[in-house]
Amino acid sequence: MGYLEYAVSLFFRKDQFKTKLRIDPELEQPTLSRDEVGFSIVLPEPVIHGDEEEETISFLGYQFPAGKSGKLLVAKLFKACVFHLSAHVATSSFEVYSKWEKQKEGRLAKFTESLVEDAKVNAYIFARYPGKLVDIAFANSLAFKRSKSLGKIWNPATRVMAASLLQANIGVVKGEMRTEEQEIVSQVVNKLGQLKNTVLESFAGEETNKDNVGLKAADEIYHVLEPYGPVLEVPSFPHTEQFDRCTLFPQCQVQPDDGVGDVFSKCLTALGGEGSGGELQQTMWEKAAEAEAFQVFDSWSREKEKKEKVLDRYEELVSLTRFKSVGFPCDDYTQYLRAKATTKSATRRLIDSLMVGFDALDEDPRKMFGVLDIQEVIQVMAAKGSRTDVFMREENLSKSYAWVILLDASRSMSPIGDDVRNFGICLAECAKEMLIDSTSWGLYAFNDRFLILKDSTERYGPKIKARMGGLRFEGLTYMPDALQLAGEILKSRAENLRLITILSDGWPYGYSKITAALAETLDFLERRSISVVGVGVKSDRMENYFRANCNIKSMKDLSKRFSNLFLEACRGAVGL
């Protein structure tokens, strides 16, 4: 179980179809947005630095020791991050502010919205999952240690906003403020406290329109903060969603005893937990929590090692091409589920069509001489038939297939990217059903990079499906190089049929004389007895380059036209 699976297991509302949850190793702070279906959340991933003797783990801008204590602290911070964003999915309605914020200063409006929605989030966790407050308090306490002192913040608006954020969520500020600024912060915190009580009453059963109450509170807080001049940034804790630039939390080295003590206790009080934090603090070091943290970290480390080994095998192959690099797409399992829902019936039709053809190819024809098959003789005599192929075969007929599927993920495919993904999912499901040996097929994408969706050594499971969902369409179209690399993958295979299926719009682009290079590559593959089928996605240009080609505009076309080409290639490979 890696960190993505861990996040899914921690989520309050587990609806992977509506809530898109992804991990991005390049990200330093979580993001929260909405798409046409629901929320979209992207989480950072821990990164290991240094060698074995001086290893550190960086996460959300913190540097943790790589020992047991560091792994536990990372796990607790990760849980706080997931709990906060999960509560947003359960209770927040950011769309209600769309009309209100049009006449407002953008950064201040976003900050006000975040204060209000975070108050609703804290109320939700307090009401429904009070045991999770310990992780939120821990993360807030780390953020307090990391935050700049108010005396070092020169912009008045930023200073008041930062003080409001700290006071509302931690119960204490860092540094001194002017008297008038203290009064402003008190007003903001009081309004947030009233909002929290109202939201808690609604959770207790009282009829309350939380959206209207939150919008009213946001408007009042906005007008309280507005006189403090130009807003240059939007303060937010490192473990919460990022709205805009924020310079209040510089990089921080975490010690094993950080996140506990007086600040932790005050934070629990501000969140509604036990003031002393005695029993709650103790849960941070429970054996179960430790085992969970170590299991996730070790599983994630092993997964990264596996991926690095796979990448190492492709580095040499990629060096023979013009590809800039080789890698894996980001995971997006929700996008896969949404695409799979639209392709289910078409996939079934294509599988059925190919299976009928496979049955015909794999028939076991009888011999005209040799050892009699007594059962066949009895059947022919009983039916008074004239068949003479009633002799047993000396050996079973065995046909085998190796298949590489290539998806064009270049920028030119972006307008039809969803179709490419859907067709790719359909072909992958067919390969899984028809080719029992999962090592006999692979799935890849290309632009000016080579992207591994499924290596032949990998099982077709949730991780592969998440990569397909996370495929992004960008960059140039190095089609000859993709075919060359696919040929290198297949050249050592001994199957009857070695097939490459490439889905593209038929526009190779990226360097001079690329069409000549494509022709040379196709000739080379033909000499190697590797069959190539070009599938034009809403384009007829593939016929300019590929002998075996078809143009598909819908899933119905895929099941009709592609299945014929596939079976023709199979018949040719086994000499039928």
| pLDDT score, position 286 | 58
Average pLDDT over the chain reads: 85
Provide the total of helices (H) and of strands (E) in the chain, helices listed first: 18, 16
Looking at the chain, how many residues does it have?
Answer: 576
| pLDDT score, position 390 | 59
Whole-number Å distance between alpha carbons of 426 and 343: 7
* Phi, psi angles (nearest 5°) of residue 232: -100, -15
| pLDDT score, position 535 | 93
| pLDDT score, position 559 | 79
List CB contacts of 555: < 8 A, sequence separation 6 or more. Answer: 343, 345, 346, 349, 422, 423, 426
Q: Which of 220-224, 261-265, 272-276, 312-316 has the weakest average pLDDT?
A: 272-276
277 pLDDT band, cuts 50/70/90, is very low
Average pLDDT in the 505-510 region? 93
Report CA Rg, the chain: 30
| pLDDT score, position 467 | 93
Average pLDDT in the 482-507 region? 90
> Cα separations (Å) of 63 from 58, 258, 292, 450, 524?
5, 12, 21, 32, 51
H or E stretch covering 356? helix 333-361
In the chain, the domains with their CATH numbers are: 3-22+40-52+66-295 (no CATH), 326-362+399-573 (3.40.50.410), 365-398 (no CATH)
DSSP state of 272: T
pLDDT over 60 (residue 363): no
pLDDT by residue (tens digit) across 53-69? 677 888 998 888 878 88
For residue 562, how many other CB atoms are within 10 A of its CB? 23
Whole-number Å distance between alpha carbons of 109 and 17: 30
pLDDT over 60 (residue 397): no
Average pLDDT in the 479-504 region? 90
pLDDT by residue (tens digit) across 157-189? 999 999 999 999 998 888 888 888 899 999 999
The b/e string for 495-520 (b: 16+ C-beta within 10 A; e otherwise) is bbbbbbbbbbbbebebeeebeebbee
Whole-number Å distance between alpha carbons of 403 and 501: 8
| pLDDT score, position 399 | 58
| pLDDT score, position 299 | 85
**Helices (H), ranges, 100-132:** 106-128
pLDDT over 60 (residue 275): no
